[in-house]
Every structure is written in C-alpha cells, then in structure tokens.
A and B are shown apart, each in its own frame.
Chain A
Amino acid sequence: MASGAMQPIMQVPELTKSQAFLKRLEGLPDGAKVRDCIQCGMCVGVCPHGSAMEFPPRRVIAALRADRLDDVYRSESVWMCVSCYNCSYRCPSGIPLSDRLLAMIRVDLLMAGVGVPKELQTAFERTTRYGNPFGESAKKRDAWTKEAGVKVRVLKPGDSADVLWHVGCFPSYNKANLKDTVALARLLTALGVDFGIMGADEWCSGDLPCTAVGEEGLFSLLHEHNSGQFADRSFGEILVGDPHAYNALHQEYPRLGTAYPVSHYTQFLEERIPELSKGMKKRLDVKVTYHDACCLGRRNGEYEAPRAVLETIPGVKLTEMPRNKENSLCCGGGGGAMWLDSYIWERTRTPLPILRVQEAAKTGSDVLAVSCPLEVPRFEDAIKTAGLEGRLRVREVSHMLAEAMGLVGGV
C-alpha cells in the first residue's frame, strides 16, 4: 500500500437488510420497543392463527436478530394475521406487533409486489378508485338515506352540524348492514341530535383495508381526502359506526395531523343513557351475549359502553361468553382478512367466526350482539354453517336499541 495514503480509522459498516428494517421500525410509534423482545412466545400462544404461522411475531423478531429477514419475506404467515391485537395486547414488552411490525413486512411485500394475495389487491384497487372496497360508485354512498324514513342531512362543504357521522363503507353499501345504519339514523333523530353525513364526499377511513395491511400510500390518500372534507365542514365531533374507522380516526389520523373528538356510536349513546331509557317502549325479553370487536376492545380499551347501552333495553339479560372483553376471540375479519377468508382457511383450517358463534350458542343466548358492521355478515354466515339457525341471531346493538324504542318499523 502506498505510504501516506489516508486510511479510515474505522469502517462504518453498511446496514444489513434486517438492520435497515429494524431501524425503520424503530422510527414508528413505540417501534423501538422491538429491542425489548424477550422471546417469551406469548404472542404466538394468544394468536388465533399462531399455530399455523411459520413466522408468528416472536419468530419474526428472532429472524431479524439473526439477520434472516428474507426468510420472513418468503413466508405467507404475515397474510394470516387478522389484526386482532391479541399479540400486541399481551406482549410484556409492549411491542406494537400487529400494526407496526407485521404491517411493515406487508408494506415491503406490497412494494416489491411479491406474494400479495389477489383478493386483497382487488380491495386496494377498488378503494383507491372509488373510496370503498366494494367498487361501488361514490355517488351511491348515501343511497341508503332514501329508505331511512327520517331526514338525514348530507353536509356540503361549508355546512355545519353538531355531529358529523362518518358512516363507513359496510354500513353505507353492504346489504346486510343497511337496516342497522337506518336504525342508527333513527336513534340519532329520536334523541334530537343535530347530525349530518358527507355522502359521496366520504371515503373509506382506511383502517380496514390499509393500516394493518400495509398499504400506507393508500392510507395517506384516504386520510388526505377525508381530512380535507372534514376541514370543509364545521362540526363539534365525529361519530363512527365502525370500530375500524374509530381506530383510524382515534389513533392514526391524529398521528398524521388530523385530530377531532371521535366516538364509536356505542360510546356516543352511552353518554345519552338517561334519554335512551326514557324512550324505551318495548320489552325484548332476550338473553344476549355481546361480542367485543377487536378494534373497539383490545385495541382501544372500550368494553363497557356497548354493554351499558344494551342494559338500558327492558328485558335484555346480558350474559358473557367465557372469552370476553380483552380475551375475546376475533371474528377473523380484521387486517384485510375480510377479503382473505379462503386464503387463510386453506392455510390455517381455523374457522374463527364459526368457533365464535358456537361459543355464543353455548351460553344459551338467543342473540349475539355486535358493534362492528363486519360481524353481521360474518356471523350470519357462520350461524348457517354451524347449523345454529333458529337458535342464535346476530344483531347490531343499534338495531336492538332502535327496536326497543319502537323505531325499526319497515326495516
């Protein structure tokens, strides 16, 4: 070597793929906690599909530490996650496993265009184009209001209302949910709430098909659109019917600079229990068990509001399934899994919605009450498959309340 040539004192090593991944993860909220993983395996044990995953969260972290990220990329495990937040909730180190670690793997696979299930691609493409995963025209988003039987104001830019109701995609378009959407509109009207919706200007909140699924660019697009629409109208608070929308607006939008007071409809109604009680006209005389939606319960800690409003209904006897509240079993539809039922079933052979309706039936309940629009079609199908028709019914809390208040005539 020529004398006098400058030699670096210490080579700065380039980051390996796994190290670069960890560095990016550490830049996300609570992402740095990944360093604290003690490899206890709690995440695997509580995961409803953990036994079928080649790379459950614990092994993902082990692989990252062993610089074997490519093994994780090659595995299909990450698409089996249903974003039930059991792993994140139970992790003793508080690592955001569902919506940061696993979501980041999905982000990378999506960017590389490798191994992404086709069904999910379709949902993404439709949401990008139409603002809803069904591929329906945005103009038809408020078509349900024609059948509502009460006046539902569609707020135009410049309009104002006390409450802005972000209705959501399933409640706006999906046939099995429309009766519950109408029921909620009638409840709000009966309670004298000054509310309005955004009609065609409302797009998917982004939580269901995006955040935990890794389509960050699409999430940003939806957030940008919705926050722009919010800014064009004046209102005191936002009301949502879907726990996934609640998660997006409560957890993710503030992170991106859009912070409004937001409540799930069960929380909104819980604040109005005296008025609800006064309006009760009919005894329902049913034994009810309530299924905690993951995004409302484990993810956002709301267990009491839905139960409290159910208890205002005369004749409702509330009973619990053995797995309730923070131990609730996921319906299997979160984290994009609503579009991946066949994909997941082929790889796990664990029919989560069927297991859940069987648990509900074992309590001897007549009604499985839910507060998430996805659960209505999921559990209705599961009840048929499990042969429980005639023994168990799935019902939205809103619809039960509206019935007890004599508001569901015609729906």
Chain B
Amino acid sequence: MKVAVVLRQVPDVVEELVIAEDGRNLSEDDVRYVTNELDDCALEQALVLKGRRGARVTAFGVGGIEARDALATSVAKGADEAVFVPLDFAERGDSHRLAAHLATPLREGAYDLVLTGVQAPDEVDGSLGAILASSLGMPHVGGLVAADVDANGPKAVVRKEFAGGRCGVMEIALPAVLGIQAAEQPPRYVPVSKVMQIKKTLQAREMTAPVPEVRGTRIAKLSKPETGAKAKMLEGDAGAVATAIAGLLKERGLL
C-alpha cells in the first residue's frame, strides 16, 4: 500500500505577523515558517499505517527551504521517501493552486491514500484535501481522528468526529484523500541528532514542474482584527456585583 502525505510550511503564529506594505500579504522578511500542525498529524497517521499495514510513506514537503527540514524530520520519523515541492512565498496559501500543482505527481505515484491535515492557517479558499480529491477524481472525507485500511478489499475504514462528542465510522473506497484532524496518537518525537544525521544525507526528489496558473482566490486586503468594545469589569462585593448584573439584565430587557 502506498500513502502520500502533504506537509505544508505555514506562518508560525508564535511570532508576530506583520502585514506587507502592499496590504495584501504578510511581510516575507518577518514570517517564520513551521510545519502545519495538522499536516504533522497526517504524517503521524501515515506512520501508524506503516507500522500496522506495512504502508510505504511518501512525504511531499511544500514551501521554501524550511520544507526540506520538515522532510528530514519526516524521514527521521520513518517516512520512506521525500519529495520537495518548492513554492514561492507569493504562491502559498492558495489551496486550488497547490491542489492543481500536486495533482500530477500524486496521480503518477498511484497512491492508495493521500493524507493532508484537515486545514491550515493560511488556506483562505477551502480545505486542500477536498480540492485535491476533486482534482484527482477521488472520494474524500475530512475531520478524521483515525484511519485504517481493510485487509479484505480496496477500502479504508475511518473515524470522523461530529459535534457533541459523537464519532462516525465510515468506509471509503480506495484510492481516496483523507483530511486528518488528529492522528490516533500524538505525533512522535524524533531526537535532534537523528534529524541532523538525516539532513546530511537526505536525497529528496525535487518537483521542477512550473506551478499552474490556477487561482482559488485573490486577496484584496489583509488587516489585523480590530479591537472591539472592551469588557466592563464590575467592582465591589458579591452583593453589589449581583445587583449590578440584575440591573444590566433588566436594562437590556432580558429579565
């Protein structure tokens, strides 16, 4: 069985996000990249499938030079193959474009499963997984917390989380695209020395095909959330605060 995982480099929100002068993108110099957390979960789920079903895992690292580091980490964790998908800063964050770009290698690779994180902080035009499935003509199900393949047939058995703490178990015909919300176990740790070792020797295939002129959306303006009205703190002892609350509720016609 062959499993592909897409690992996107996304802006790290631990660092301050600075809007570029053109007001339509983040300032490239101020962005620090990190592997999309949910893509990391997708990788973990792929590695779980490797351990359980002997799947061969290929990681597609999307982004700038940082994507190569993410690929080294994925190989150190157990991925069998790494593909570097360079994507210029200006071209990132558009799921339609990325899906169009990745469709060819994913089709040619004849993967049984393509795993992506169910969302990424910089995708503004919908989930990559669903768009990818549409490009590939494969079925898709997202919001998954577990995935396995059926030993008796070409299908996957997946668990999807619903509101109210309910879980659905579904079957999906292979090949398929799965959107992973959480892996069956937290992403594994790999020691720094192991990653360093792999970095020195990693031979990642590099995708050289031009990025298709497909656009899912055009950003007109980017701005920081505006601060709304501030919370009003009620002062005084419990009795005074209770009276004030009752007064406010009456004033607004809620009592």
Instruction: Show the binding face of A for B, using Cβ within 8 Å.
Output: 110-111, 113, 116, 118, 121, 124-125, 128-130, 135-137, 139, 215-218, 220-221
Contact = CB atoms under 8 A, between A and B. Distances in A.
25 contacts: A110-B189, A111-B191, A111-B194, A113-B188, A113-B189, A113-B190, A116-B189, A118-B186, A121-B186, A121-B189, A124-B189, A124-B192, A129-B34, A130-B14, A135-B14, A139-B15, A139-B16, A215-B191, A217-B192, A217-B193, A218-B191, A218-B192, A220-B192, A220-B193, A221-B192
B196 interface: yes
Given A128-B192, A136-B14, 4 more contacts: A111-B194, A113-B188, A124-B192, A215-B191
Contacts of B34: 129
A125 B192 CA distance: 9
Contacts of B190: 113
The 3 closest A-B pairs by CB, nearest first: A217-B193, A217-B192, A121-B189
A8 B188 CA distance: 46
A119 to B, nearest CB: 10
Interface residues of B, number: 14
Nearest to B196: A217
B16 A215 contact: no
B15 A137 contact: yes
Contacts of A110: 189, 191
B72 to A, nearest CB: 13
A130 B186 CA distance: 20
Interface in B187-203: 188-196
A272 B190 CA distance: 46
A135 B196 CA distance: 21
A135 B15 CA distance: 10
Q: Which of B15, B193, B196 has the most CB of A within 10 A?
A: B193
Interface string B1-40: 0000000000000111000000000000000001000000
Nearest to A125: B189
A128 B69 CA distance: 13
B193 A137 contact: no
Contacts of A220: 192-193
Contacts of A111: 191, 193-194
Contacts of B188: 113, 121
A165 to B, nearest CB: 25
Nearest to A130: B14
Contacts of A137: 14-16
Contacts of A217: 191-196
Contacts of B189: 110, 113, 116, 121, 124-125
A137 B11 CA distance: 13
A111 B188 CA distance: 11
A129 B192 CA distance: 11
Nearest to A124: B189
A369 B153 CA distance: 67
A217 to B, nearest CB: 3
Contacts of B15: 137, 139
Q: Which of B186, B192, B193 has the most CB of A within 10 A?
A: B192
Contacts of B192: 124, 128, 215, 217-218, 220-221
A116 B191 CA distance: 11
Nearest to B34: A129
A136 B32 CA distance: 13
A116 B190 CA distance: 10
Contacts of A125: 189
A78 to B, nearest CB: 15
Nearest to B188: A113
A118 B186 CA distance: 8
Nearest to B76: A113
B138 to A, nearest CB: 32
A217 B188 CA distance: 17
A130 B15 CA distance: 10
A130 B191 CA distance: 16
Contacts of A130: 14
Contacts of B195: 217
A218 B192 CA distance: 5
Nearest to B192: A217
A136 B12 CA distance: 11
Interface in B56-100: none
B39 to A, nearest CB: 15
Contacts of A221: 192, 196
